[in-house]
Structures are given as C-alpha cells and as structure tokens.
Amino acid sequence: MFYFVSQGVSIAFAAGASPGPFTSFLIGRTLAQGWRKSIILAITPIITDIPIVIVVLLILKQFPPELIRVIQLVGGLYLLWIAYGSWRQFKAGNTSFKPEAASDGESTARTLAQGAVMGWVSPGPYIFWATINGPLLIQGLNQSVLMGLAFLVAFYGTFIAILCLYVLVFDRLRRIDERVTKGIFLVTLVVMVLFGLRLIGQGIGIISA
C-alpha cells in the first residue's frame, strides 16, 4: 500500500506545483472574491475527473490526435472567453479586491461551474489520466480495491490540500495593497490568455505540443 500512497502523493505534488490554466483561474478568483467563495474550487478536480476516469479506465489508451486537437481548440477558446469576461468585469469596476467585499461578485455555484467546464474542455486531464494516473490506478485495482482507493485518496487528498493552500496564500495577498492585488490579478488574466492561445495553436496545428 505504501507504494501506491507514495505514488499518489508524489504525482499530486508535481501536478499542484505545475502552472496551468486552472491554477491561474483559481488564483484570479481568490484575488477577486476571497477564500470563502474560491475554496470550493479546490474540489473541482474530483467533479471533472469522475467522467474522465471512467472513460480512461474503459479504453485506457492514447486518445486519437484528432480528438485531442478538438479538445485543445475548444479549451483554448473557453479560456479566452473566461479571461475576456473577467477583464470586462475588471474594467467596469465590478470586481472588488477589498477583503470586506468578498461576499460580492459571482455566485459560488457559477464559479464552481466555470472551474468544472474548464477541466472538461482542457486536454490535460484526459492525457494525464490516460498516461500517468490511469495505469497506476489499474495496477492498484488489480491487486485489490483497497490499493486502488489508497492511490486515489493519497492523490486527491494531497492535490486538494495544495489547491487550498493556494487559495489561503493569495487571499492573504489581497489584504496587503489593492494595487498589488490588481496587478497580480491582471497577470493571471494574461497567463490564461497565453494558455488559451497556446491551446488554440496546438489545436489548429501551428504549435507543437
């Protein structure tokens, strides 16, 4: 069991430390809404991964390149749409970075829905489960259900803890100086746009994966 637990923890640390569209979205929402509304995003990977894991466990092979390109194109467009919407709210003054205004802004349900959709239209989770987590989960389940569950609990427990840490750290940052917070927020928007453009470029074949 130690092998599967250690593998789950190690992979979760690697995934949590790697910058990505969802991490940028999580940080941006935390800066704009505070931890109370953003902490729910930490469970988004569980929601998005359930159907992905089922599909991967049923076929467990590399997805056709054409399917990956479609997912990349859709995911890139969705990231640009989210970034544009956040930019419009920022320019209109609808985004408050003051701690006492944490209850304003988008609803928690909408924030969670945006995070879930972002996971479903991003190619990362599909490739991740097809190439890394999927084979390890199958290996554990072949030994016993307990081994498979140990791997899942170790992975998601660690990954969610890292996401919660992001939320708490950047919630503290929003209490320092509103100008600094706005600057970091705009950086997250730029990062989301760059990720979106990169996915679109990969989807139409002008950028290699």
Q: Higher pLDDT residue, 54 or 71?
A: 54
Does residue 120 surpass a pLDDT of 80?
Answer: yes
| pLDDT, position 152 | 93
| pLDDT, position 101 | 47
Split at pLDDT 50, 70, 90, the class of 57 is confident
| pLDDT, position 100 | 47
Q: Higher pLDDT residue, 1 or 89?
A: 1
Most confident of 11-15, 39-43, 104-108, 201-205: 39-43
| pLDDT, position 103 | 47
Question: Across all residues in the chain, what is the average pLDDT?
Answer: 79
Buried residues in 188-202 as b, exposed as e (16+ CB within 10 A): bbebbbebbebbbeb
Does residue 94 surpass a pLDDT of 60?
Answer: no
In the chain, the percentage of residues whose pLDDT exceeds 70 is 85
| pLDDT, position 91 | 76
pLDDT per position as a tens digit, 131-171: 778 778 888 888 999 999 999 999 999 999 989 998 998 88
Q: Phi and psi of 95, rounded to 5°?
A: -105, 115
| pLDDT, position 64 | 67
The helix/strand/coil state of 76 is helix
Mean pLDDT on 9-34: 81
Distance CA(33)–CA(148), nearest Å, equals 36
Q: Note the pTM of the prediction, 2 decimals.
A: 0.71
Taking a C-beta distance cutoff of 8 angstroms, is the pair 195, 123 a contact?
Answer: no
Q: Higher pLDDT residue, 72 or 41?
A: 41
Q: Which residue has the tokens 């660690």?
A: 158
| pLDDT, position 178 | 67
Distance CA(197)–CA(166), nearest Å, equals 25
Q: Which residue has the tokens 């944490």?
A: 102
Q: Higher pLDDT residue, 5 or 209?
A: 5
Tokens of 146: 């307990």
